[in-house]
Structure 1
């Protein structure tokens, strides 16, 4: 069965050589390579590099990363260039979205987190949205936007940890904004969303250059391969570069000059244009909202799984859920269960149910009270308590959040809400023009959609993992800035019974799905990995990690593996629905395994491909080289040297 998971590719390397290389890397990770996984071929080859590796969601963006390395930049410079170009290409994100990153700094030996998620604007309260007949904040438009985070995240990462100038790093993005041949898939995506896009004058002007309101049959979006021009965005990027140049001319340092560009975006003429244009279309932004927002350089959270330290950002994203799952799974004999056996899938599913139930109730903005119980959530003793709840024979469709507070010496302040909590939140129903908007995505699309992923590493020890998002099409573009704003407001809730930590409030971050990942062994980085895909992200990353660590797959095999997908957790988008017991599998899973899962209480849907577009870099500790992988789903692409 495993042999059919991967499609063959032609490699000049003898099979025995490839096998030995995989075994050597697995030994470096502290795990045993298993022969069935080692024997598998893949649609794409593993990328090998000695000096650097760059992987992301688009070939053009990976090329931008390679350009930075060629200029003498480090992995942070390359990652920032890839971030800028993917935003310019609208690779399920735009420049007004949000950026989440982990960076291994070889100068300190530490992993740091970058929190560049925007906050809710002034006036964004539960009462405001309820008065408009909404059950959750809207999915798109000016009221869906949190403050722009990606420009600030890019500039802070570059100023603090990069080597190159902002002008050098933004050069590929500026060239693309001047005009690049848009991909057919993206051009068709714009055309499908034309009715939503046409609501906003500047989005209509940029995305729909061929719109003829007298001829509804005529295509409004660019054709695939047509030069897609974003001259307003180009002008904004030039303003940032000009601010840097003026600061350098005045004798400022490289770092100070990049922060001068940051000031212009958040407190200067760019901010004024974004605010004025957003408010004109009914949004809530104020100039103070942008001026007061800041990027946080923070300490990530981690757990140790069989000698490997796995790092995630904390509760403002869903990343700790994967760490909770690893804590639950650690004592179990996963390899003995057999890869993708019914027992293994059931164990994963039940573990994820418990971890994601905690996510749905306890995760929120750690910079905004009340404080999330992260110490208790990541306690190994708490994991043991949760593990004991797993029924080895039957799916638990009623899996609930636990109580982690005793495991950090505290008392739960939300006991009553916890008792009343339901795995299925209140349904959101449209009730006319003041209620929910026409959905930009159906629920299945919303569950898996969103973002790109970026990995970069270099021989000096800089390693970067980024999962940026927000401002995807259909994006509201804020006036002449050319900046497409985020849609992350929809991830808030309005009812504390759903999650008392994630109720919308001015200045607060919504709990997002975005989740870069990094692994270290004996204090040295061995892997950077992340994935696009909304609520499925930490499901896919958990399975990818176990594919490598437990089943000995190389990075490309693990990236291409067809994962299973659970829909039991609450969606972070749209109507926030939950579908307990629903399980997506592929046809590679044998009928007898599917039948066994159905007998255990699962609603098994067989799909052609589960959505798991992983990008990853492994660092070979023996050779000091890089092995990079990119999923064969979509346009994920890497370059190494």
Structure 2
């Protein structure tokens, strides 16, 4: 009986009735010639396209989509959080990077945590709150690249915030999970829990307070958030509830234009932003795997999964030790992503044994739920943008009358003195959110990202491998079953001592799972840990845009 069932399951897994020929559920790539948007919510995708139809460019469209996501997907985004972006400028023929992350309050010191008897920063309340950077990032992007006025860009989100929108399935699920944890924090229930309950799937929800906040931003600009009425509302609220963020913290905030960094993987340049984010971990994974014949192993083979997990462990050991705010720590970025360093690290991988503990390397030193979106316009501009409050809806602290939750990104600081990511006032915490971009021979090839905390660099690497090594198209690369390793070294100083656990999506054969266990891997069945992917690429012949948005989220890829 068991043999018969396995035979039937194996036959079904070949999916011979699919045009794609893939052995997993997937759909066709989306094509359009003039403009494209891919986000985790259809209303955000439509807002981006509407803005471009009215004469806006990809940068205007990305801001419009992000504003909409702060309304329709508050479980992953909002102006109480931070933002990172990469912009391919068709005019300049180059890639720009923006670090829109905020810093810790100057009034909150390490001594204060010690006085309070706190050894690890809590996820909720006033202690993990850092300056929200998203709004300044919007205006920084707009000032440098935008075309339409902000009144037009924010108009779609203002409309739906006033009128209301039907809540989608995945968002409704995470809203329900947020209520027990966050409803005790002042202002949260008044903003999100109509009649004492979170809105269910399909129910209409409006956020008039957020509409008012967006109107102020549209009319008065970024200073209304960092010096004006919104700033005063944030600080007054926090002072009432024992918070530390000040008007000076907000007024002194500025986003930082940074130079993206890249590593070449089999002829393709994969771009990430430098720390305080974790993007270079994806580059380290790819460079560690490059010496191996990945294509010859197969995407669901135990040999490939083992190599991938072991490469990830090595990269994340370095992540825990070195990645931090580069204003406070010397991070050897070029060495960490170099071929010679990672190829030396690759020799530490044992082909038939899972590592139980992994040490960081010695790269020539002198002794974190999210939304991702991407847009592209008729001029050839492309935006890769990621934004989040951290832990879904953030700290729970919801300033009175403003319609958004403040982030809890400061939880990712390490309270142990002397480490790269150790807490300090005015410092940016280690960050999990990372946008990505790929170029080929100096030209744009693909803008992409994957939401989901520590999952993100693992998924960036898998998307690249799926396309380059396994020959998948842009949609299949995101739909293919994923590998997630968890439990390895964390930026808060926690270390892996038992090898961590490997979670495999459905689609990996039983034989692969059994072989991995024989190599010493601990396997765990999980749901909801595999992230959410969007991407836009350029067809090599027609130069039309191709886009993908996967089924793990409520998203949509569309264009015209």
Q: TM-score, normalised by structure 2?
A: 0.92
CA contact (8 A) 2:321 2:491 kept: no
Q: Distance in 2 between matches of 1:470 and 1:608?
A: 21
Q: Distance in 1 between matches of 2:449 and 2:132?
A: 22
The equivalent of 1:88 in structure 2 is: 71
Give the superposition deviation at 1:606. 3.9
Which of residues 518, 527, 532 in structure 1 aligns to 2:437? 518
CA contact (8 A) 1:453 1:615 kept: yes
Give the superposition deviation at 1:573. 8.3
Q: 1:351 to 1:188 in 2, by over 3 A?
A: closer
Q: Distance in 2 between matches of 1:159 and 1:5?
A: 50
The equivalent of 1:397 in structure 2 is: 356
Q: Point out the more displaced range, 227-236 or 266-275.
A: 227-236
Which of residues 99, 103, 118 in structure 1 aligns to 2:102? 118
Q: 1:198 to 1:609 in 2, by over 3 A?
A: closer
CA contact (8 A) 1:586 1:610 kept: no
Give the superposition deviation at 1:272. 1.4
Q: 1:459 to 1:43 in 2, by over 3 A?
A: same
The equivalent of 1:495 in structure 2 is: 416
Q: 1:614 to 1:319 in 2, by over 3 A?
A: same
The equivalent of 1:240 in structure 2 is: 217
Q: Residue 623 in 1 paired to residue 506 in 2?
A: no
Q: 1:578 to 1:169 in 2, by over 3 A?
A: farther
CA contact (8 A) 1:139 1:574 kept: no
The equivalent of 2:514 in structure 1 is: 595
Q: Residue 61 in 1 paired to residue 60 in 2?
A: no
- Equivalent runs, 1:149-548 vs 2, <5 Å: 149-183=133-167, 185=169, 186-187=171-172, 189-211=174-196, 220-243=197-220, 261-366=221-326, 368-405=327-364, 410-411=365-366, 413=367, 450-470=369-389, 472-473=392-393, 475-496=396-417, 500-548=419-467
Q: Residue 108 in 1 paired to residue 95 in 2?
A: no
CA contact (8 A) 1:197 1:207 kept: no
> Once the two structures are superposed, what CA deviation does each residue of 1:154-173 show, in whole Å capped at 9, x if it has no partner?
11112211211101110111
Q: TM-score, normalised by structure 1?
A: 0.81
Q: 1:86 to 1:491 in 2, by over 3 A?
A: same
Q: Distance in 2 between matches of 1:587 and 1:396?
A: 24
SS in 2 for 1:404: coil
Give the superposition deviation at 1:51. 0.8
Question: Which 5+ residue runs of structure 1 have no aligned equivalent?
Answer: 19-37, 212-219, 244-260, 414-446
CA contact (8 A) 2:328 2:427 kept: no
> Once the two structures are superposed, what CA deviation does each residue of 1:563-611 show, in whole Å capped at 9, x if it has no partner?
1110142356898988624111134222222121111110122456762
The equivalent of 1:421 in structure 2 is: none
Q: 1:390 to 1:576 in 2, by over 3 A?
A: closer
Equivalent pairs, count: 548
Q: Distance in 2 between matches of 1:231 and 1:319?
A: 36
CA contact (8 A) 2:375 2:384 kept: yes
Give the superposition deviation at 1:630. 0.9
Give the superposition deviation at 1:191. 4.3
CA contact (8 A) 1:53 1:638 kept: yes
SS in 2 for 1:111: strand
Q: 1:55 to 1:583 in 2, by over 3 A?
A: same
The equivalent of 2:6 in structure 1 is: none
Q: Distance in 2 between matches of 1:386 and 1:551?
A: 24
Which of residues 29, 32, 52 in structure 1 aligns to 2:35? 52
Give the superposition deviation at 1:50. 0.8
Which of residues 31, 56, 77 in structure 2 aligns to 1:73? 56
- Equivalent runs, 1:20-39 vs 2, <5 Å: 39=22
The equivalent of 1:438 in structure 2 is: none
Q: 1:6 to 1:569 in 2, by over 3 A?
A: farther
